[in-house]
C-alpha cells in the first residue's frame, strides 16, 4: 500500500497543492516553518482522521477560510485504488469518505491505511506525563485491534460520567456500583491488550536500540497499571473514601504508564539527547515492525526532521536499519537539502524530491 497522489486545499499553511509521490522514498526540504511538517501531517490525517499534533481540528484549516479539504489516492497491495477524502469545516463539522461513501463512525476507517509518524514531538513520550505514553499504546492498538478501540472508548465515556457523579453533593451509592460493574470488563480488556503489546514491543525496542547504539547501552520498558495487582472492583472499593474527598476517580487504567530505562536507570534523568532520540526511534521502528506483522502489509513511514541531534554514526545506523526493514513508502523531511539527498542515496531506492516554501510545494 502506498500514497500515489494528494490534493490539499487550505490545510494549515498550504493554500493549494496537488503532489504525486514515489512509491518508495520522498524527500521534502525547506526552511523551518515552510510547511514540510504540515504536508506529513496531511498524510497522517488521511490515515487517522485527525492531526498528529493536536486533538482539536480548529487549527487544521487556514486562517480566515471556511474549511480545509484533503484527498488521497492509494494503490493497495491487491492492485486496487482507494480514494480517501476529508472535509473539515469551521464550526466542528467533519466528513470522511472512502470513495464516494461517507463513514458513519471514523473508527471504521482506522487501520485501513497504517501509518507510523516519527517527529521531534516524540520527545514528550520521555519527558511528559503518562498521558503521552498511554496515547502511544492507544495509537498502536486502535489501528490493530478494533475491539480494543471499542473498549477504551466505552471505558472513557463511563469514566467521564462517573467523575460527574462524584462531583455531585449527594448521589445513590448503588449508582457507583453500577458504574463499577460496567467499567470492569472494559478495564480488564484494555489492561490485557496493553500488557500483551508491551511484551511484544519490548524485545523489538531492545534489538533496534542495540543496533542504533552499537551495543553501547541497554534499554528496557516496563508497563505499570493499577490493575497489575487487582481487578477494578477491588481497586474502587479500596479508593471509595478517598474518592469522596477528592471527588474524582483515583484509580484505574487512566493512570497506566510506561517506564523507560537505560542501563537500569531512568532514561528521562540519565539519557543524553542523542540516547533519548535513539530510544524514541527504536520505539517507532518497533511499532513499525509490529504493525507490519499484524497487518501483513507495510505502514507508510513518516520521518519528520529525525536527523537533528543525531551524530553521523547514529544516522548511518538508522539508515541501515530502515534499508533492512522491508520498508514500503517513506517520507523524509529536513531543512538541509544536501543532507537529505545524501540520506536518500544511502537508502538506495527510487526517490522524488520536493521543495516547500511558504506552503507552496514544487518537485525538484
User: Is residue 302 domain-resident?
Assistant: yes
Residue 230, classed as helix, strand or coil, is coil
- Cα–Cα distances (Å) from 39 to 26, 300, 339, in that order, read 12, 14, 20
Q: What is the tens place of the pLDDT at every residue in 262-290?
A: 999 999 999 888 889 889 999 999 999 99
CB atoms within 10 A of CB 347: 18
Stretch 91-116: mean pLDDT: 90
Please tell me whether residues 30 and 141 are part of one structural domain: no
Q: What is the pLDDT of residue 176?
A: 87
Residue 17 pLDDT level (bands cut at 50, 70, 90): very high
Q: What is the mean pLDDT of residues 51-71?
A: 86
Question: Once rounded to an integer, what is the mean pLDDT over residues 332-347?
Answer: 80
Residue 33 within any structural domain of the chain:
yes
Which segment of 48-52, 139-143, 190-194, 316-320 scores lowest on mean pLDDT? 316-320
Mean pLDDT of the chain: 90
**Segments forming the whole domain that contains residue 244:** 125-296
pLDDT at 354: 95
Q: Are 129 and 180 in the same domain?
A: yes
Indicate if 182 and 232 belong to the same structural domain.
Answer: yes
* Percent of the chain residues topping a pLDDT of 70: 98
Give which of 281, 283, 285 is closest to 308, Cα–Cα: 281
Whether 215 has a pLDDT exceeding 80, the answer reads yes
Identify the DSSP state of 103.
Answer: P
Query: Is residue 290 domain-shared with residue 153, that is, in the same domain?
Result: yes
Closest of 4, 185, 140 to residue 79, by C-alpha? 4
Count of structural domains within the chain? 2
For residue 199, what pLDDT is reported?
96
pLDDT digits (tens, 9 = 90+) for 120-174: 888 899 998 999 999 999 988 987 888 998 999 999 999 999 999 999 888 778 8
Q: Decide: helix, strand or coil at residue 7.
A: strand
Provide the pLDDT for residue 173. 81
Closest C-alpha to 137, from 261, 42, 262, 224: 224
**Dist. CA 248–CA 165, nearest whole Å:** 9
Say whether pLDDT at 318 is over 80: no
Whether 289 is in a domain gets the answer: yes
| Judgement on whether residues 142 and 47 belong to the same structural domain of the protein | no
Q: Which of 253, 268, 296 is the last residue of a domain?
A: 296
Q: Which residue has the higher pLDDT, 206 or 336?
A: 206
pLDDT tens digits for range 292-313: 888 888 899 999 988 776 767 7
pLDDT confidence tier of residue 325, bands split at 50, 70 and 90: low
Q: What is the DSSP string of 58-76?
A: TTTBPTT-SEEEEEEEEE-
Name the pLDDT band for 11 (thresholds 50, 70, 90).
very high
Give the mean pLDDT of 59-71. 88
Q: What pLDDT is attached to residue 309?
A: 66
Q: Are residues 94 and 83 in the same domain?
A: yes
Q: What is the reported pLDDT for 164?
A: 92
Q: Is residue 52 part of a domain?
A: yes
CATH number for the domain harbouring residue 213: 1.20.1050.90
Q: Using one digit for the tens of pLDDT, what is the confidence trace for 28-59?
A: 999 888 999 999 999 999 999 999 888 788 88
Do 167 and 257 belong together in one domain?
A: yes
pLDDT at 315: 74
Amino acid at each position: 500500500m502506498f500514497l500515489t497522489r494528494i490534493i490539499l486545499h487550505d490545510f494549515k499553511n498550504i493554500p493549494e497543492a496537488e503532489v504525486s509521490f514515489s512509491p518508495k522514498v520522498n524527500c521534502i526540504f525547506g526552511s523551518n516553518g515552510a510547511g514540510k511538517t504540515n504536508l506529513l501531517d496531511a498524510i497522517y490525517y488521511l490515515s487517522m482522521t485527525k492531526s498528529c499534533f493536536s486533538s482539536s481540528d480548529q487549527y487544521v484549516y487556514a486562517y480566515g477560510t471556511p474549511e480545509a479539504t484533503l484527498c488521497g489516492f492509494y494503490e493497495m497491495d491487491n492492485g486496487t485504488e482507494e480514494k480517501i477524502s476529508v472535509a473539515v469545516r469551521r464550526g466542528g463539522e467533519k466528513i470522511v469518505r472512502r470513495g464516494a461513501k461517507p463513514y458513519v463512525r471514523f473508527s471504521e476507517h482506522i487501520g485501513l491505511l497504517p501509518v507510523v509518524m516519527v517527529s521531534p514531538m516524540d520527545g514528550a513520550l520521555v519527558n511528559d506525563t503518562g498521558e503521552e505514553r498511554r496515547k502511544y499504546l492507544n495509537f498502536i492498538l486502535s489501528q490493530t485491534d478494533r475491539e480494543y478501540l471499542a473498549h477504551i472508548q466505552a471505558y472513557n465515556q463511563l469514566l467521564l460520567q462517573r467523575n460527574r457523579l462524584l462531583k455531585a453533593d449527594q448521589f445513590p451509592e448503588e449508582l457507583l456500583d453500577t458504574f463499577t460493574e460496567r467499567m470492569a470488563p472494559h478495564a480488564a480488556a484494555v489492561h490485557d491488550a496493553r500488557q500483551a503489546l508491551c511484551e511484544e514491543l519490548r524485545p523489538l525496542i531492545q534489538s533496534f536500540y542495540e543496533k542504533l547504539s552499537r551495543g553501547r547501552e541497554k534499554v528496557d520498558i516496563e508497563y505499570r497499571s493499577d490493575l497489575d495487582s487487582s481487578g477494578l472492583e477491588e481497586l474502587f472499593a479500596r479508593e471509595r473514601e478517598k474518592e469522596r474527598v477528592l471527588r474524582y476517580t483515583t484509580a484505574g487504567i487512566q493512570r497506566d504508564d510506561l517506564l523507560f530505562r537505560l542501563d537500569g536507570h531512568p532514561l528521562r534523568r540519565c539519557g543524553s539527547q542523542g540516547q533519548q532520540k535513539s530510544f524514541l526511534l527504536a520505539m517507532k521502528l518497533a511499532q513499525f515492525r509490529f504493525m507490519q506483522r499484524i497487518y501483513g502489509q507495510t505502514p507508510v513511514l513518516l520521518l519528520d526532521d529525525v536527523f537533528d541531534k543525531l551524530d553521523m554514526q547514529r544516522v548511518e545506523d538508522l539508515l541501515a536499519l530502515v534499508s533492512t526493514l522491508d520498508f514500503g513508502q517513506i517520507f523524509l523531511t529536513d531543512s538541509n537539502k544536501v543532507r537529505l539527498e545524501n540520506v536518500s542515496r544511502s537508502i538506495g531506492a527510487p526517490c522524488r524530491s520536493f521543495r516547500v516554501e511558504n506552503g507552496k510545494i514544487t518537485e525538484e
